[in-house]
Chains A and B, each alone.
Chain A
Amino acid sequence: MKFDLKKFFSRKPKNELEGAGVPPQPQPNADPAAAAEAAIPEKLAEKCEKCGQIVLSADMDENFGVCPKCGHYKKITARARISMCVDAFEELFAEEQSGNILGFPGYDEKLAALREKTGEKDGVVCGTGTIGGERCAVFSMDYRFQMGSMGHTVGEKITRTFEYAAERRLPVVGFILSGGARMQEGIVSLMQMAKTSAAVAKHAEAGLLYIAVLTDPTTGGVSASFAFEADVIVAEKGALIGFAGPRVIEQTIRQKLPEGFQRAEFLQEKGFVDLIVERREMKEKLSALLKIHAADASAAEEVSL
């Protein structure tokens, strides 16, 4: 068989016009890898950010965004995360967006550029759906929006998700990824920590379950608020989790940090994370946790001993 060079170097059409035809439509809630692919920009191959090896994008996607060569967890978008773990997702509060509250220089342009680049209004996607058949409210943070930093929009949408869930008696599953508060929104972004915490408290007092899934990275103001206020704290394997970022700590104490410091495994060892879950098993584990919490404890059956 003749090797088709032309075919090898051709790329997938970027859009309908370029493709001169109907592109394959992503099936909502089809298998997670395919859905995840739909949310990741199309390309043939990519370089693993950890090992530097070239990996076929299709292989990366099939492997849940985990490098097949070295096992490194690639960051995935908020929607790719939802596709991997949540069925029958219906988005909520999609129109929520705020502007440059403090009139911070350059922030309008920055927001506009990020919105253009990502197609998202801000750094979190919220809604409802099912995980293993269990209905829940969901929020998922996006690294492409200033590494998931929390300003007014992020805080407001997460608060509304908890309020919505409390009213409808739904558990909340939050996929967390954030470098911290968004400094261009000053004190307003700091207040989001208190606002989201108050909403978590209200949801908790209604006797409802909140599972936080901490992914790489979870630091700063988000780690010091709703990330560590959950009933069950799940961490994705290898995720960086901490209050201060490692560089800030190294500058403060003027020494190098030990290997593995502030990684999910370290936090579990120190007693701050309930369990570490691999990405490909996330949906199954979340489903199991939701099922146990949804079960009626008084419904014990007679068991022959």
Chain B
Amino acid sequence: MNAYEIVLKSREKGRPTAVRYISRIVEGFIELHGDRRFADDKAIVGGVGFVGGMPVTVIGIEKGEDTNDKIAHNFGCAHPEGYRKAMRLMKEAEKFGRPVLCFVDTSGAYCGIGAEERGQSEAIASSILEMIRLKTPTLSIVIGEGGSGGALGLCAADEVWITETSTYSVISPEGCASILWKDSARVAEASECLKMTADDLAVLGAVERVIPERDFSEEFFADLKADIVRFFRGKRGIPAEELVEARYKRFRKF
């Protein structure tokens, strides 16, 4: 597959979205709503549950599955209240020493009047700032599109994993082609240039692990769950200061 084919695949209809991952990986998930400030943003789903017997806080950017569902979840484009909900849940996890698991799938944070009025920039900036110094283990997995700041708001983690036909980029290839070359037809070329596919990202060190998708079979979810459990078990007993320092180094290298 070339880069543009992967871009299309990362957005393909029928691809499992965050709620599917949560239902396959998290036992006894209880959804917790709202940012306690303004609203409950349905583009971001969050709550608590168990993974392999370990309590976790789970946060996912949800695109929705069918058309009505997509509209309800605003196509996975979060407003500031979505990031503020995520932050609130992360702080709650920190208080109880629970690890935080994020599933990331968004074309980007929402662009609109309300989003600007309520401080989209401030919400994402604060989310990055809080997550990067969170005193509990964190893991983010990109499961479709990792669209720019809207994705990074939930990717300031100890490690970032990505499924093999997902992307993670500073800008969409459409945006890049139209801004840089004033030609949105050159989207395939932009997809290559941006080095936004899972394999390229691994070479650049932006992700620690590329997960084979195996047609999103039961085995795929079972193995992913086992890997997540192993990852968080490996973080047990590490003092919070060490976790934060290791995270600092992870991002400092860029």
Contact = CB atoms under 8 A, between A and B. Distances in A.
B204 interface: yes
Interface in B100-147: 109, 111-113, 115-122, 124-126, 128-129, 132-133
Interface string B161-195: 00000001111000110011000000000000111
Interface in B211-254: 247-248, 251-252, 254
A183 B125 contact: no
Interface residues on A, range: 35 or more
Interface in A168-198: 181-195, 197-198
B109 A243 contact: yes
B194 A249 contact: no
Given A224-B124, A253-B112, A102 B193 contact: yes
A195 B252 contact: yes
Contacts of B118: 270
B254 A191 contact: yes
Contacts of A105: 193
Contacts of B129: 197, 200-201, 229
Contact of A104 (B120, B156, B193): B193
Nearest to B122: A228
A103 to B, nearest CB: 8
Contacts of A219: 121
A189 B121 CA distance: 17
B206 interface: yes
A221 B125 CA distance: 9
A183 B176 contact: yes
Contacts of A189: 170
B201 interface: yes
Interface string A88-117: 000000000000001011000000000000
Q: Closest 7 interchain pairs by CB?
A: A191-B254, A244-B111, A243-B120, A223-B121, A228-B125, A224-B124, A190-B170
Given A186-B170, A243-B111, A272-B119, 13 more contacts: A184-B180, A187-B168, A187-B169, A198-B133, A219-B121, A224-B149, A224-B152, A225-B149, A226-B125, A228-B126, A243-B120, A243-B124, A253-B112
Interface of A: 102, 104-105, 152, 155, 159, 181-195, 197-198, 200-202, 205, 219-221, 223-229, 241-244, 248-249, 252-253, 257, 261-262, 270-272
